[in-house]
């Protein structure tokens, strides 16, 4: 049995009728929305960051719905590099600029886990599994993620990832159009399940699709009320609760099947079982990393392939690089071998060390199309950034747009240009994180991105079209207000594709 992080809600509900619960909850919510809570400008000391005007929940709701605009508007309204606002009893401080960036990524007391637990809300929360973890358990999960990306394990993943790509792409047919932010993301979710879960789950397309739909519920059910007032019995919170339960059950059932069968497999679940990890560690590892990996890698893959759609120069460079790898390493490949088989003949070392074009494409895509906002909580003593005090217990937010879309560091920042040089400034590029919080799964993510992109480029001729099937006047531009996929804000774009002759 498991407990989801709504124990206090359950206890409270048992003490009163549903009608009383709902009426009380709505009354409290109304009061919070109208009157707000927290400090005001009158409470400020000379060393406190300036307050964003408006302290009630309605004023900060855009933090969850249009975060990019909300943060930029905050800097504009306050005229400061740092400002703060309240989320009920919690203080949130937004920072920007070089000195703030250095302090943010270097301070060991700024805790990532605590920051995301309160400010994000989209991670499925199960007590003892993905929340309220002891330091030892967090360290063990990180250790397992490192083990997952050792050479032998990554080599074993190349063939099944390429086979997944081949099977999923077969379902697209020989020609047509699709939304890359749906189809490419679905493909990445499949390869992420293959990489981080079990063979039994990954081999069942219907089960993978169900898992994705459950994580979609968690994503789209994240609202200001579900994050700040999780005890409110609103439909969105109940849907999140039920989705979390089903995700847990799917993973737990896969563990039971594996243990009962006693038949080992070459997959991540087997690695965790062989290490004799606790069930909660195994479920937490798969449950948490599935969503984290699929979101970040799915966004990057969708945009990388989209950017190449009408960029013939870089598309040709990438194709030439991939074909060069195959000509070097597929000397004994059968003439009618499948594309996935030929790509699988390229060794891991070559994928990692001999693909400068793919590396540049990934690097630039992460800069322009990953709408990250780093979130931390100060678990140490009060600290100072740019003469402003960051009190102990406060939450700190740093938007990656402060550096990645800064025209002083990256001229014409919205232009997709893989030839760009990285900004010569501390933490001038944080596509994989920075300081003590570098993405631990980046080696696996890079490999997924290279294999998926290679299959797409060699298997299909494709370009970007608008809703009418014509070449668009304006190319797609990432929308940083969409914190999940960064998909274009208003215009609808598709990939129009035809299968190439090398597709077998």
- Please tell me the predicted confidence (pLDDT) of residue 3: 41
Joined tokens for residue 395? 């939450």
The Cα–Cα gap between 75 and 59 comes to 15
Of 40-54, 313-327, 371-385, the least confident? 40-54
**pLDDT surpassing 50 at residue 2:** no
**pLDDT surpassing 50 at residue 287:** yes
Q: Answer whether 70's CB lies under 8 Å from 63's CB.
A: yes
**pLDDT surpassing 50 at residue 216:** yes
**pLDDT surpassing 60 at residue 227:** yes
- Please tell me the predicted confidence (pLDDT) of residue 229: 66
Instruction: Calculate mean pLDDT across residues 330-345.
Output: 76
Question: How many CB atoms neighbour CB 331 within 10 A?
Answer: 8
User: DSSP secondary structure string, 18-84?
Assistant: HHHHHHHHHHHHHHHHHH--S--GGG--TTSPEEPS--SHHHHTHHHHSHHHHHHHHHHHH-SS-EE
**pLDDT surpassing 90 at residue 240:** no
Q: Beta-strand (E) ranges in 283-381?
A: 373-378
- Please tell me the predicted confidence (pLDDT) of residue 281: 84
The tens digit of pLDDT for each residue in 177-199 reads 999 999 999 999 999 999 999 99
- Please tell me the predicted confidence (pLDDT) of residue 53: 84
Q: Per the CATH hierarchy, to which homologous superfamily does domain 7-499 belong?
A: Cytochrome P450 (1.10.630.10)
Of 294-298, 444-448, 449-453, the least confident? 294-298
pLDDT confidence tier of residue 22, bands split at 50, 70 and 90 = low
Which residues sit in the known binding site for heme?
439
pLDDT confidence tier of residue 9, bands split at 50, 70 and 90 = very low
**Structural domain boundaries in the chain:** 7-499
Which residues sit in the known binding site?
439
The tens digit of pLDDT for each residue in 109-133 reads 998 878 777 666 555 555 544 445 5
Over the range 170-194, which residues count as b (16 or more CB within 10 Å of their CB) and which as e?
A: eebeeeeebebbebbbbbbbbbbbb
Instruction: Calculate mean pLDDT across residues 267-274.
Output: 91
The tens digit of pLDDT for each residue in 51-93 reads 998 756 677 888 888 999 999 999 999 999 999 998 877 899 9
């Amino acid at each position: 049995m498991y407990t989801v992080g709504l124990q206090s809600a359950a206890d409270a509900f048992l003490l009163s009728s549903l009608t009383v619960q709902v009426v009380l909850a709505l009354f409290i919510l109304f009061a919070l929305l109208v009157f707000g809570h927290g400090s005001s400008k009158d409470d400020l000391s000379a060393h406190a960051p300036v307050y964003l005007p408006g302290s009630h929940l309605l004023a900060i709701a855009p933090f969850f719905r249009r975060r990019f605009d909300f943060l930029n508007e905050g800097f504009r309204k306050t005229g400061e590099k740092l400002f703060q606002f309240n989320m009920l009893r919690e203080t949130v401080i937004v920072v920007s600029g070089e000195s703030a960036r250095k302090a943010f990524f270097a301070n060991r007391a700024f805790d990532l886990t605590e920051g995301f637990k309160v400010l994000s809300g989209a991670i499925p929360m199960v007590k003892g599994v993905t929340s309220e973890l002891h330091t030892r358990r967090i360290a063990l999960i990180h250790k397992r993620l490192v083990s997952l990306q050792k050479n032998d394990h990554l080599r074993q993943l190349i063939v099944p990832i390429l086979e997944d790509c081949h099977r999923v792409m077969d379902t697209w047919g020989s020609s047509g159009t699709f939304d890359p932010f749906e189809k490419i993301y679905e493909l990445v979710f499949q390869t992420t399940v293959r990489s981080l879960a079990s063979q039994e789950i990954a081999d069942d397309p219907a089960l993978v699709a169900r898992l994705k739909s459950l994580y979609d519920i968690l994503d789209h059910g994240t609202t200001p009320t579900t994050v700040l007032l999780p005890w409110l019995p609103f439909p969105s919170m109940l849907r999140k609760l039920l989705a979390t339960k089903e995700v847990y059950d799917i993973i737990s059932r896969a563990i039971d099947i594996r243990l009962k069968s006693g038949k080992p497999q070459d997959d991540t679940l087997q690695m965790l079982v062989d290490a004799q990890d606790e069930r909660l560690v195994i479920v937490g590892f798969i449950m948490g990393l599935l969503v984290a990996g699929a979101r970040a890698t799915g966004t990057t893959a969708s945009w990388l392939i989209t950017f190449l759609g009408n960029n013939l120069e870089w598309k040709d460079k990438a194709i030439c690089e991939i074909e060069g790898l195959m000509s070097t390493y597929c000397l004994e490949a059968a003439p009618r071998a499948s594309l996935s088989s030929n790509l699988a003949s390229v060794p891991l070392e070559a994928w990692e060390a001999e693909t400068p074009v793919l590396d540049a494409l990934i690097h630039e895509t992460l800069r322009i199309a990953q709408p990250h906002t780093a979130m931390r909580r100060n678990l140490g003593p009060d600290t100072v950034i740019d003469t402003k005090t960051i009190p102990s217990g406060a939450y700190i937010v740093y938007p990656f747009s402060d550096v990645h879309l800064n025209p002083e560091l990256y001229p014409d920042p919205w232009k997709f240009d893989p030839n760009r040089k990285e900004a010569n400034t501390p933490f001038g590029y944080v596509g994989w994180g920075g300081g003590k919080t570098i993405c631990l799964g980046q080696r696996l993510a890079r490999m997924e991105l290279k294999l998926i992109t290679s299959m797409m480029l060699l298997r299909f001729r494709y370009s970007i079209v608008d809703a009418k099937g014509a070449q668009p006047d304006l190319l797609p531009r990432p929308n940083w207000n969409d914190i999940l996929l960064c998909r274009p804000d208003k215009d609808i774009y598709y990939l129009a594709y035809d299968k190439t002759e090398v597709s077998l």
